[in-house]
């Protein structure tokens, strides 16, 4: 029987790693990388491949990769993609997942971070696009705005973020609403340009054009 996303969600080891990762990132002052983020990434990664006509198994693996992609933060933020890939592989092996499937997931997780990765498969491309699209004020954990750094301020300024896939026109659009009273649009690109270019390449891997629309204006 194939392992599905719900099996991963019920795994106690996965759950404890998610909690530990978020605890560590809270101390370090990072934005939210817990259940909210990984659930959105899992859903979007699966939806990208589903919309493009990939089969159910590819969609299933993309969802699992999305849910497990940040487990490495339980060890350290540095190299979290690499440690997370190994952690996920070991867990999936213990759960009885086929070696080919878990290798696909490990490869995607190990390449999701813009500092060291790139799109190397359909699953990794979908994971990158899903992960980098999740900018939103609900990810900011700090309550005191006077303590916001630029990442906090930019994320808090994003009041809506949608990822739209147009199969007919072969494009994927990151559609953002930014409160320019919080920060100028330029700040978004200053912070996220590397991620944006990574997303553009991931879209290209899937045969798509990547666009960024901010406040109803096409900016990329």
- Domains, the chain, with CATH or none: 5-218 (1.10.3210)
Does the structure show a pLDDT above 80 at 143?
A: no
Q: Among 216, 174, 168, which residue's Cα sits nearest to residue 197? A: 174
- Averaged over 134-141, what is the pLDDT? 87
Does the structure show a pLDDT above 80 at 1?
A: no
pLDDT tens figures, 2-43: 999 999 999 999 999 999 999 999 999 888 899 999 999 999
pLDDT tens figures, 46-101: 999 999 999 999 999 999 999 999 999 999 999 999 999 999 999 999 999 999 99
**pLDDT in the model for residue 147:** 77
Taking only Cα atoms into account, the Rg of the chain, rounded to an integer number of angstroms, comes to: 17
Residue 48 DSSP symbol: H
Distances (CA, A) of 116 to 5, 22, 113, 137: 26, 22, 6, 26
Q: How far apart are CA 92 and CA 17, in angstroms?
A: 14
Does the structure show a pLDDT above 90 at 149?
A: no
Strand 158-166 to strand 171-178: parallel, antiparallel, or no bridges (unpaired)? antiparallel
**pLDDT in the model for residue 76:** 96
Does the structure show a pLDDT above 90 at 159?
A: yes
């Amino acid at each position: 029987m194939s392992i599905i996303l719900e099996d991963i969600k019920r795994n106690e080891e996965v759950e404890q790693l998610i909690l530990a990762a978020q605890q560590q990132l809270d101390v370090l002052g990072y934005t939210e990388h817990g259940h909210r983020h990984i659930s959105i990434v899992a859903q979007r990664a699966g939806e990208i491949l589903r919309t493009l006509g990939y089969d159910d198994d590819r969609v299933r693996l993309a969802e699992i990769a999305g849910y497990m992609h940040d487990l490495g933060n339980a060890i350290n933020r540095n190299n979290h993609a690499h440690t997370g890939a190994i952690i996920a592989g070991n867990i999936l092996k213990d759960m009885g997942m086929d070696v080919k499937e878990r290798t696909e997931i490990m490869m995607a997780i190990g390449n999701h971070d813009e500092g060291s990765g790139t799109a190397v498969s359909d699953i990794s491309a979908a994971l990158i696009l899903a992960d980098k699209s999740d900018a939103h004020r609900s990810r900011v954990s700090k309550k005191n705005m006077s303590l916001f750094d630029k990442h906090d301020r930019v994320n808090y300024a994003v009041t809506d973020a949608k990822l739209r896939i147009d199969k007919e026109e072969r494009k994927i659009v990151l559609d953002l609403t930014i409160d320019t009273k919080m920060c100028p649009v330029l700040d978004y690109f200053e912070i996220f340009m590397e991620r944006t270019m990574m997303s553009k390449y991931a879209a290209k891997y899937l045969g798509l054009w990547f666009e960024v629309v901010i406040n109803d204006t096409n900016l990329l």
